[in-house]
């Protein structure tokens, strides 16, 4: 790939009808030069493409998709444009916008002072466009909300399908009525003579076949043009066979008063009506499965009050930029991520962290967009806007997970890719067998079997089985605060046998407090603490922060160290006021040959109580002990109990010494603790467990957990932790609560069970349906109803996951 | 959606009207009996 950084783009696609379509687009994209990996999700109607931007471009993907007979959906944004004086201005803005990557077409209307931009939201944002216009020296204001646009597109499509369904239903009712008269058990029902007339039937069936059914012909044509076959081919073949055979019979009857025996107009019309009904249900259900995303998007504030040119003005969220000063009144939502520059308040962050107790924040603290300002007036400086906010990142993770493929889906994809040609062959063989052997010379019967086989075998249910479950499952998990990064992780999590928990920040709050100070000899406590506090001042380790905070709380002022060196896993080495200080573990003291014999008893006592004791040496001599203790999360014990009940082995891993580790492990009910592990050793411990044949999930929050998170079968990052950990992990647990581990495992189990049910039904339906139809036990219209029902049942089964309770 | 329904109903009415007009003026009187047709279909 030429060593260039790979890019990833997500393109919304329209026109796919079944798994054969999605696999065709996937194949087409993967064949393009410069594409490393492309995957197409049928349920989400999206393609995710990893590519080398030096070799290929998004335009090439769009062209390929269009060549294959589908279209890339773009969104539209409208702007009010101010500051234009002549046509040169409008064309300048137009050119400028058209140059932005992701913009397909920008049109500026000088007279109306408006601009309309067609764009791919995955590549460019409304903010980027406004920025571009502002850079050109004009002012732009967004007129519409992109979510409403996207929503509108889907709604419109559903409305159109509803209209089409009604149209074909009204014309199919008389045809259905005429069919009722054919059966012995319903022959008592009166059928008007006119509906038995072949020309009336033709007049009713033709608009359904060619006007409503046009979409199947178009789809089939595009598929065949690209040398592949999809569900449209089967539907078009089946209904056309019925329609044209009937037309042939009608023509033969010319001069015979219009009454013909072998007519199948009703079969083709009812089939199309039912298939459209099925698609309608499917579209509605698909819409519901993205509810989780809608809920998350709903958390966002719609407007923000910002300071612009000395004035406080209310603007749309899209128009907020980094560095903007924002005012947030009590009761309002924080619009974007930022830093408080004035004021203090309690913020309700429960929507993101699940922590129900409001968090007190003051100047200098960071705030997260979409959290609720409870009681104070805040002045905030925006630091992250648009796609970069924490909430947008969460939405992105959920969307990507919903759009990704679980390995289990690949089987279904492979099968549905080769399904159509096989089915057409079976259908032809079936009709030949009927025509030659079973009912010799009876073309009508042979045709009926052909249609039934073609229709019953559509692999729609097979294509929908996995992606709809993944969508619903990952969406529901997100509501529980569990963010799966991809379908494969959702699938793998249920196989976990062992959970390794990092101690600090995971089992405990990770915010230790200073508890004990023990000094050697007659040293004044404040002088001792001043030295230790000054030495630790520059350390970013949570233990150091606790020590510094504890010392500062005692009213002791600290110096700046002249020298400072952090030794990971050991402690620190610093020079304060000309004195050389060492603060850290026994190993640190051993490393510098400090005699700590007199500290041994005290250390053991502190550690037995679960405290972390650090030894202090001044100028090469042992000087005392300083101890901190981390508090255990209230929920940890219950969460670990839940994991044990699921039959999962729970292990705690920590850099602390054995005694401290054991004390904490016992308190929360963990049977096994691996202590004194250096940061880089965590990954090794995980590998050791994996070598024993265990499927390991690592749960951590810090930068030092990242390698272990990446190496474990499943890495789970505590959402309150660092970005690095979340980046390395496969699952982010938004609520810093260990109960989410069991939730993730249960959600995975339930989703996998749901996928298996769906695949079973879809396979069973196709494998049973084909012989039943071939043997002549299934009328073509019943085959159509069954096919529509199969897709709907699969989607409805997946939607059950949305209401699943895991506690 | 209403437009689609109205269009379908209008078309249906048109087909029925055309048939009725044709049937009352030009059609020959004896249509094929239902029973025979059902028999054939089975």
pLDDT digit string, tens, across residues A663-702: 889 989 998 999 988 877 888 999 999 999 999 999 988 7
CB contact under 8 A, A184 and B15: no
* Residue B10: predicted pLDDT: 95
Nearest to A257 among B18, B20, B28 (CB): B28
Find the closest chain B residue to A201 by CA distance: B15
Burial of A794: CB neighbours in 10 Å, binned 0-12, 13-18, 19+: buried
pLDDT at B34 over 70: no
Q: Which residues are registered as beta bridge partners of A314? A: A305
Active-site residues of A, by number, are 502
Q: Which residues are registered as beta bridge partners of A77? A: A117
CA A761/CA A465 separation, integer angstroms: 9
User: In sequence order, which residues have a C-beta less than 8 Å from that of residue A796 and are 6 or more positions away?
Assistant: A285
Per mean pLDDT, which range of A354-358, A360-364, A710-714 is the poorest? A354-358
Closest by CA position to A262, among listed A250, A274, A277, A270: A250
* Residue A2: predicted pLDDT: 45
Per mean pLDDT, which range of A63-67, A324-328, A710-714, B34-38 is the poorest? B34-38
Q: A650 and A671 in contact (C-beta within 8 Å)?
A: yes
Burial of A601: CB neighbours in 10 Å, binned 0-12, 13-18, 19+: exposed
In B, residues 3-42, which contact A (CB 8 Å cutoff)?
A: 3-5, 7-9, 11-12, 15-16, 18-20, 23, 27-28, 30-32, 34, 36-38, 40-42
- Contact residues, chain B, for A184 at CB < 8 Å: 38, 42
Residue A239 DSSP SS3: helix
pLDDT at A472 over 80: yes
* Residue A647: predicted pLDDT: 95
- Contact residues, chain A, for B18 at CB < 8 Å: 203
- Per-residue pLDDT band for B9 (boundaries 50, 70, 90) equals very high
Find the closest chain B residue to A444 by CA distance: B41
Residue A756 DSSP SS3: helix
- Contact residues, chain A, for B4 at CB < 8 Å: 162-164, 166-167
A660 vs B8, higher pLDDT? B8
Is residue A200 within 8 angstroms of chain B, CB to CB?
yes
CB contact under 8 A, B37 and A259: yes
Is residue A196 within 8 angstroms of chain B, CB to CB?
yes
CB contact under 8 A, A203 and B42: no
In A, residues 632-691, which contact B (CB 8 Å cutoff)?
A: none
- Whose tokens are 């009937």? That residue is A246
CA A740/CA A115 separation, integer angstroms: 46
CB contact under 8 A, B41 and A261: yes
ipTM summary value: 0.75
Which residue of B10, B37, B38, B42 is the best one to mutate when testing the A interface, meaning the one whose CB has the most A CBs within 10 A? B37
* Residue A111: predicted pLDDT: 66
CA A605/CA A776 separation, integer angstroms: 84
Shortest CA gap B7–chain A (Å): 7
* Residue B42: predicted pLDDT: 43
- Contact residues, chain A, for B36 at CB < 8 Å: 261
pLDDT at B28 over 70: no
Alpha-carbon Rg for chain A in angstroms: 34
Which residue of A164, A189, A249, A261 is the best one to mutate when testing the B interface, meaning the one whose CB has the most B CBs within 10 A? A261
For the beta sheet containing A35-41, the strands, ordered from the edge strand earlier in sequence to the opposite edge, are A35-41, A46-51, A7-14, A71-72
CB contact under 8 A, A174 and B9: no
- Contact residues, chain A, for B40 at CB < 8 Å: 261-262
pLDDT at A4 over 80: no
**Average pLDDT of chain A, as a whole number:** 84
Find the closest chain A residue to B29 by CA distance: A257
CA A783/CA A773 separation, integer angstroms: 8
* Residue A404: predicted pLDDT: 67
Which residue of B2, B10, B19 is the best one to mutate when testing the A interface, meaning the one whose CB has the most A CBs within 10 A? B19
pLDDT at A358 over 50: yes
Averaged pLDDT for residues A139-156 = 63
Residue A177 DSSP SS3: helix
Averaged pLDDT for residues A229-246 = 83
DSSP states of A246-284: HHHHHHHTTTTTTB-S---HHHHHHHHHHHHHHHHHHHH
Alpha helices in A68-213 (DSSP H): 87-99, 126-135, 146-180, 193-196, 198-206
CB contact under 8 A, A257 and B15: no
pLDDT at A641 over 70: yes
* Residue A354: predicted pLDDT: 55
Averaged pLDDT for residues A18-22 = 77
CB contact under 8 A, A194 and B27: no
Q: A503 and A664 in contact (C-beta within 8 Å)?
A: yes
Find the closest chain A residue to B3 by CA distance: A163
B37 vs A679, higher pLDDT? A679
- Contact residues, chain A, for B12 at CB < 8 Å: 170-171, 174, 204
- Contact residues, chain B, for A187 at CB < 8 Å: 34, 38
* Residue A260: predicted pLDDT: 63
* Residue A403: predicted pLDDT: 66
- A698-752 pLDDT, tens digit per residue, is 998 877 788 888 889 999 988 765 667 777 788 988 888 899 999 999 999 999 9
* Residue A785: predicted pLDDT: 76
* Residue A353: predicted pLDDT: 62
Averaged pLDDT for residues A436-463 = 83
pLDDT at A336 over 80: yes
User: In sequence order, which residues have a C-beta less than 8 Å from that of residue A720 and are 6 or more positions away?
Assistant: A353, A505, A701, A736
- Per-residue pLDDT band for B2 (boundaries 50, 70, 90) equals confident
3-state secondary structure B3-38: HHHHHHHHHHHHHHHHHHHHHHHCCCCCCCCHHHHH
Q: What percent of chain A has pLDDT over 70?
A: 91
CA A715/CA A132 separation, integer angstroms: 40
Give the torsion through C-alpha atoms of A386, A390, A395, A398, to 10 deg.
150
Nearest to A182 among B11, B18, B38 (CB): B38
Averaged pLDDT for residues A340-354 = 80
pLDDT at A147 over 50: no
CA A503/CA A664 separation, integer angstroms: 9
In A, residues 246-275, which contact B (CB 8 Å cutoff)?
A: 257-259, 261-262
CB contact under 8 A, A259 and B31: yes
A545 vs A532, higher pLDDT? A532
- Contact residues, chain B, for A199 at CB < 8 Å: 19
DSSP code at position A441: T
Closest by CA position to A721, among listed A543, A505, A568, A484: A505
pLDDT at A200 over 70: yes
pLDDT at A159 over 50: yes
How many CB atoms lie under 10 A from the CB of residue A306? 21
- Contact residues, chain B, for A171 at CB < 8 Å: 8, 11-12
Chains A and B form CB pairs within 8 A to the count of 71
Per mean pLDDT, which range of A253-267, A319-333, A490-504, A516-530 is the poorest? A253-267
């Amino acid at each position: 790939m030429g060593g260039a950084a790979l890019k990833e783009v997500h393109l919304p696609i329209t026109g796919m009808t079944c798994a054969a379509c999605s696999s065709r687009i996937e194949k087409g994209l993967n064949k393009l030069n410069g594409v490393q990996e492309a995957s197409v999700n049928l349920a989400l109607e999206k393609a995710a493409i990893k590519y080398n931007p030096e070799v290929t471009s998004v335009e090439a993907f769009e062209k390929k998709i269009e060549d294959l007979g589908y279209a890339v959906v773009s969104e539209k944004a409208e702007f009010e444009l101010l500051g234009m004086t002549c046509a040169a201005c409008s064309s300048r803005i137009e050119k400028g916008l058209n140059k932005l990557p992701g913009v397909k077409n920008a049109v500026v209307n000088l007279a109306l002072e408006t601009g309309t931009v067609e764009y791919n939201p995955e590549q460019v944002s409304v903010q980027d466009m406004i920025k571009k216009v502002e850079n050109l020296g004009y002012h732009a204001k967004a007129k519409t909300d992109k979510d409403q646009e996207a929503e509108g597109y889907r709604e419109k499509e559903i409305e159109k399908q509803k209209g089409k369904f009604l149209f074909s239903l009204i014309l199919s009712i008389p045809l259905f009525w005429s069919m009722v008269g054919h059966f012995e058990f319903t022959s008592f029902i009166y059928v008007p003579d006119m509906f038995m007339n072949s020309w009336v039937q033709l007049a009713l069936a033709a608009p359904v076949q060619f006007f409503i059914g046009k979409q199947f012909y178009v789809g089939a044509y595009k598929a065949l043009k690209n040398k592949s076959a999809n569900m449209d081919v089967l539907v078009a073949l089946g209904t056309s066979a019925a329609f044209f055979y009937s037309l042939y019979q009608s023509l033969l009857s010319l001069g015979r008063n219009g009454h013909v025996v072998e007519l199948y107009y009703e079969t083709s019309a009812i089939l199309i009506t039912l298939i459209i009904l099925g698609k309608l249900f499917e579209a509605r259900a698909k819409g519901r499965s993205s509810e989780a995303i809608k809920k998350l998007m709903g958390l966002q504030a719609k407007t923000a009050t910002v300071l612009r040119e000395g004035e406080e003005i209310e603007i749309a969220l899209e128009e907020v930029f980094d560095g903007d000063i924002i005012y947030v009144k009590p009761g309002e939502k924080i619009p974007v991520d930022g830093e408080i520059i004035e004021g203090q308040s309690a913020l309700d962050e429960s929507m993101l962290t699940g922590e129900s107790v409001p968090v007190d924040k003051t100047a200098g603290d960071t705030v997260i967009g979409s959290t609720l300002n409870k009681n104070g007036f805040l002045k905030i400086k925006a630091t992250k806007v648009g796609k970069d906010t924490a909430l947008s990142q969460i939405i992105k993770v959920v969307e990507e997970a919903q759009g990704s493929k679980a390995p289990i889906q690949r089987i279904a994809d492979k099968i549905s890719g080769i399904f159509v040609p096989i089915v057409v062959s079976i259908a032809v063989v079936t009709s030949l067998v009927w025509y030659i052997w079973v009912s010799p010379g009876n073309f009508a019967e042979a045709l009926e079997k052909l249609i039934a086989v073609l229709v019953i075998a559509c692999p729609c249910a097979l294509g929908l089985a996995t992606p709809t479950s993944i969508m619903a499952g990952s969406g529901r998990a997100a509501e529980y605060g569990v963010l799966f990064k991809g379908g494969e992780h959702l699938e793998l999590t249920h196989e976990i046998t062992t959970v390794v928990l990092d101690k600090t920040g995971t089992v405990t709050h990770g915010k230790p407090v200073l508890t004990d100070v023990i000094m050697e000899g007659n040293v004044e406590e404040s002088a001792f603490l001043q030295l230790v506090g000054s030495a630790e001042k520059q350390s970013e380790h949570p233990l150091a922060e606790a020590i510094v905070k504890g010392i500062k709380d005692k009213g002791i002022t600290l110096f700046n160290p002249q020298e400072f060196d952090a030794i990971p896993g050991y402690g620190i080495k610093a020079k304060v006021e000309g004195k050389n200080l060492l603060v850290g573990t026994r190993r640190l003291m051993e490393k510098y040959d400090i005699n700590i014999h007199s500290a041994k008893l005290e250390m053991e006592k502190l550690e037995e109580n679960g405290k972390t004791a650090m030894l202090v040496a001044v100028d090469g001599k042992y000087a005392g002990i300083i101890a901190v203790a981390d508090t255990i999360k209230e929920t940890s014990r219950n969460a670990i109990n839940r994991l044990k009940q699921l039959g999962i082995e729970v292990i705690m891993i920590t850099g602390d010494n054995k005694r401290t580790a054991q004390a904490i492990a016992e308190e929360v009910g963990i049977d096994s603790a691996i202590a004194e592990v250096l940061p880089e050793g965590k990954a090794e411990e995980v590998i050791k467990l994996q070598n024993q044949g265990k499927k390991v999930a690592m749960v951590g929050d810090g930068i030092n957990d990242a390698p272990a998170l990446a190496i474990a079968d499943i890495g789970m990052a505590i959402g309150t932790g660092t970005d690095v950990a979340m980046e390395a992990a496969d699952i982010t647990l938004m609520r810093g609560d260990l109960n989410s581990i069991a939730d993730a495992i249960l959600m995975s189990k339930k989703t996998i069970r749901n996928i298996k049910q769906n695949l079973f039904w879809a396979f069973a339906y196709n494998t049973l349906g084909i012989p039943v139809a071939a043997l002549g036990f299934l009328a073509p219209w019943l085959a159509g109803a069954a096919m529509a029902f199969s897709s709907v049942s699969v989607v409805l089964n997946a939607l059950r996951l949305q209401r699943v309770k895991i506690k | 959606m209403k437009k689609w329904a109205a269009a379908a109903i209008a078309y249906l009415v048109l087909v029925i009207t055309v048939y009725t007009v044709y049937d009352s003026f030009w059609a020959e009187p004896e249509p094929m009996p239902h029973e025979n047709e059902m028999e054939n279909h089975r």
